[in-house]
Every structure is written in structure tokens, then in C-alpha cells.
Amino acid sequence: MADIKISIIGAGSAIFSIRLVGDLCRTKEFHGSHVTLMDIDRERLDAVYNLATRYAKALGSKLHFEKTDDLERAIEGSDFVINTALVGGHAEQAIMREVGERNGYYRGIDATEFNFVSDYFTLTNTRQFDYFLEIARKMEKVVPKAELLLAANPVFEGTNLISRMSGIKVTGFCHGHHDVRLVAEAVGVELEDVDWQVAGFNHNIWLTRFRKGKENLYGRLDRWIEREIENWQAKDPFDLQLSPGAIDMYKFYGRMPIGDSVRNGSWKYNYDPATKRRWFGHPWGGVDTKEGWQWYQERLRESTERTFKLAGDESADLLKEFPPEEMSGEQHVQYIDALVNNKKTRLVLNIPNYDNSRKERIIPDFPENVYVEVPVTVDGNGVLPEVIDPQIPEKIVKMYLFPRWLRMEWALDAYISGDISVFKEILVRDRRTDSEAQIERLVVELAEANPAFAKRYGL
Ligand code: NAD
């Protein structure tokens, strides 16, 4: 039995709270361990703590839960710190998006080529970046050997920022690769029988290997497209993996984009609502439109309300609500379990682009310090990245990953330097900008709406 301490920062998260707590309770090897739930929202924290302790009791799990709104107290003594916090929440991002839209930037300035995911802010997310570094610095002070698991977005910018600005080991987590299953199902095979790999950056991954035995399953996918694409209809705003947009990207790049990568194509798919509907289906046009995002916010609200409702109802059967045999599909707990309890597990993680055991870059086209999202095997010895074979096609590297990588470097450059001229220059390169006056107006309004942004850039 492990005796470790795990802290979850932003434990009230609509997306993660119950999933992570449930996975911890279900993993009996963690019995005896300590879990600290931390959030600045007392109401959410109390509700999640209530469910966590009741669920653990119902399962006979001997986890010790603690709750706090103090970051340092949560981190103290931790072996693993999981960050799921969204500082300022979806409301602050909505304000930033609105300022952008008012100034001619559809979906705001953070929604840009190769990154249209509506809560993956890389430019106006100052408080989120500040918090990433605050957590890392507190960890350096009190638990320098502990590891930070980053689930809060933007994972690509965040992992690179933290690893460059602190001595803390950080690993990025995302569940987007699970959509490989949808491509496998479409071509009539069980994912368990497929030999697959994905590779790229977070939210920018590509199905580089898709085989069953000697058969290259891309042949079957081509036949599926001929037969089915005309009949495709979105079931909900997230139903994008086999959308006309995804298939069009496949036809151009030669590999399938996976998961949120479909939301992160070029401008071609994202000029305006009508364009989005054409590629991502009616009526929403995918999740990154006004209607699609409203749909998602309603689901998040329902999830939070469910947490509160169950927390307030002591008679609720939590084992029925959260069946013990079902793991959530999030990788955080599996990762810690694999490392601490030496259970060999295949995961897809965001790690530095260097394979230490083979002494080579995982994706040869990028520097060693840049974080890449790739399949790995994790066990008591650590993380062993797979050799990516075949490698990512040159077209994807040059026309998709290079520009996305540069955008990450620009965003970090602007944030770290606090130099507003770098920030403005990034906007100069945005196709929606047509004058310097537009940028000047926008920056003034962003600074008025967001004091942390104003402070960072000395405005
Ligand atoms: P949410 O607003 O429901 O939850 C965020 C939580 O963070 C809230 O409980 C809030 O009170 C808390 N918080 C805010 N500031 C805090 C602070 N200073 N200290 C501690 N806690 C604080 O948001 P959500 O929809 O659950 O999303 C959370 C994050 O996860 C976002 O960044 C989102 O983009 C990201 N996300 C990641 C993945 C992934 O697979 N990596 C998937 C979905 C969402």
C-alpha cells in the first residue's frame, strides 16, 4: 500500500473534481494515502470534500481527505500536485472574448489559427499563467522533489512555461487522444486490436500509426469516407472527430487530427459561424461557436449542480451515481499508480521532447526542451516514450506544428518579458487585424477589463 500525499488544486473543477477523487478511491493501492483538496471557492470545496469522504467510506477506501483554501498548506508534504484550477473562471474568459469580438476578432484574440479551443487562452490568460508559476514556486520552496501534473489549460503553453521558469518537474495531461477509438469504430475495428500512435503537441496531435496486424487501416478509412461522409451529422457540439472538417484536414495533411486537434485547424474552418457550420455541422458549428460554447457551459453547470445536489443529500447512493468499476478515463491517477506501484501502463502524456534512455529527440524536428504529446509506457522506473514510427509527415511538421510551436513561443515571450510591443506584434500577424489603431484600442480595453493583464504589461 502506498503512503503518499496528493494535492488537487482547483478541486472544485466542474470537469475534474469527481473524476479524480473517484479514481483515487477506486485504486486500492492508494489506501492509506493522503489527499488534500484545495480551492478558493469554499462552497465548491465543501461539496467535493463531502462527496469524496462519503464515496471513500462507501467503497471501504482508507484514503485520508483534507480540505483547505490555502495553496501552501495544500502543497506541503505532497508527492504529487495536480493543478486543475481555472483562475477567474469561464466568466473572466468570456469578458476577454467579448472585448476581442468588439474590436473585430471573432471568438476573441486568444482564438487563433491552430488554437480555437474556447478555454485555451494563451494571450490574455495572465492570471492563469501567474498561478502556474505561483504553484511551481511554492513547490520549489516546500516540496522541490514533488511532481506537478498540469491538467488546467493551456497545457502546451503551461508545461513549457513552468519547465523553463522553475526547477519543478511538470507533466501535462489531456484526454483528447481517446477519440482514436471513434476512428477505429468507424472503420469497424476494436481499438484494443489496433496498433496506434498519436504525436504532436497538446491539442495538436495526429494519428501517425493506424494498423491492424499488417493492414494499414487508413485504407479502410478512405473507404468509410467515400461511403459515409455525405451522411455525417453532428450528434452534439463535441461530435467532431469524423466531421467534414476533420476529413478535410486528413485529405490535406495525410493523417487524421485527433480529439481537440480537429477544433484547431487553420482559418479555413474558422472564419465565421457559417464557415464553422459548414465544416463542423448544424446547428452548432462545433463547440467553439457562441451556440456550441453555450451548450458546453450548460453541461458544466449541470455537472456542478449535480455535485451540490448529491453533497446535500446524505441518503444518495454514491456507488450507484459513480459506479466503482468504471475508471474516469482521466490519466492522472493511472499515472501516479503506475509510477508509485510499479504498474506498467500505456498513457499519452505531455513531456519534454527527449528520450533519455535512447538519448534522442522523440520528434526530431523540435528542440529537446519543447513539450510534445506522445504515447509512453510508465512504470516504477519512470516514463519511457515510444519511438514514433512512422514519424510525423513533413507536411504536418512544416504547415501545422511549426506555426503552432511559434505561437507558443510568442505567447511565452510576451508574458515573460511583459513587453507590450511583443504582444502587439503578435496581433499584427493576426489576419483579423487591419490597422494599428485597432490594436491600440483593443489593448486599452483589455487593460481596463483585466487588471492583471494591465499590471503584467505595465499599462
Ligand atoms: P471550473 O471553473 O469549473 O473549475 C475551476 C476551479 O478552479 C473552480 O472550482 C475554481 O473555484 C478553482 N479556482 C479558481 N481560482 C483558483 C485558485 N487561485 N486556487 C485554487 N482554485 C482556484 O473550470 P473547468 O471547466 O473545470 O476547467 C478547469 C481547467 O481544466 C480549465 O483550464 C480547462 O481548460 C481545463 N480542462 C482541461 C482538460 C484536459 O484534458 N487537460 C479538459 C477539460 C478542461
The three grid cell numbers given for residue 161, joined into one nine-digit string = 512555461
Q: Is 344 exposed, middle or buried (0-12, 13-18, 19+ CB in 10 A)?
A: exposed
Give the pLDDT mean for 264-284. 98
Q: Assess whether pLDDT exceeds 80 at residue 2.
A: no
- The torsion region of residue 187 among left (phi > 0), alpha (psi -120 to 50) and beta comes to alpha
Give the pLDDT mean for 67-76. 98
Please report the domains of the chain, with CATH numbers, ordered by start residue: 5-172 (3.40.50.720), 409-456 (no CATH)
Q: What integer best gives the mean pLDDT of the chain?
A: 96
pLDDT at 212: 98
Closest atom of ligand 1 to 174 CA is 40
pLDDT at 325: 87
Q: How far does the centroid of ligand 1 lie from the alpha carbon of residue 300, in Å?
A: 11
Report residue 47's pLDDT band, with 50, 70 and 90 as the boundaries: very high
Give residue-wise pLDDT tens across range 295-339.
Answer: 999 999 999 999 999 999 999 999 999 998 888 999 999 999 999
Give residue-wise pLDDT tens across range 136-157.
Answer: 999 999 999 999 999 999 999 9
Report residue 1's pLDDT band, with 50, 70 and 90 as the boundaries: low
Closest atom of ligand 1 to 87 CA is 15
Give the pLDDT mean for 429-451. 98
Q: How far does the centroid of ligand 1 lie from the alpha carbon of residue 10, in Å?
A: 6
Positions marked catalytic? 175, 260
Q: Assess whether pLDDT exceeds 90 at residue 213.
A: yes
Q: How far does the centroid of ligand 1 lie from the alpha carbon of residue 309, in Å?
A: 20
Give the pLDDT mean for 16-30. 89
Strands annotated E in 231-370: 257-258, 345-352
Question: ∠ CA 412-261-86 to the nearest 5 degrees?
Answer: 50
Residues 6 or more apart in contact with residue 334 via CB below 8 angstroms:
23, 327, 345, 347
Q: Assess whether pLDDT exceeds 90 at residue 17.
A: no
Longest dimension (CA), the chain: 63
User: Do 452 and 126 meet the contact criterion of CB atoms below 8 Å apart?
Assistant: yes
Q: Assess whether pLDDT exceeds 70 at residue 343.
A: yes
Give the pLDDT mean for 2-9. 92
Report residue 233's pLDDT band, with 50, 70 and 90 as the boundaries: very high
Give residue-wise pLDDT tens across range 353-383.
Answer: 999 999 999 999 999 999 999 999 999 999 9
Residue of 21, 84, 87 to test ligand 1 pocket, by largest number of atoms within 8 Å of CB = 84
Report residue 14's pLDDT band, with 50, 70 and 90 as the boundaries: confident
Q: How far does the centroid of ligand 1 lie from the alpha carbon of residue 327, in Å?
A: 20
Give residue-wise pLDDT tens across range 378-394.
Answer: 999 999 999 999 999 99
Classify each residue of 147-179 as buried b or exposed e, where b means 16 or more C-beta atoms within 10 Å of its C-beta: bbbbbbbbbbbbbbbbbebbebbbbbbbbbbbb
Q: Within 6 Å (CB) of ligand 1, which residues are found?
A: 9-10, 12-16, 38-41, 44, 84-87, 89-90, 119, 131, 151-153, 155, 173-175, 300
Phi/psi at 155 (nearest 5 deg)?
-65, -40
Give residue-wise pLDDT tens across range 88-145.
Answer: 999 999 999 999 999 999 999 999 999 999 999 999 999 999 999 999 999 999 999 9
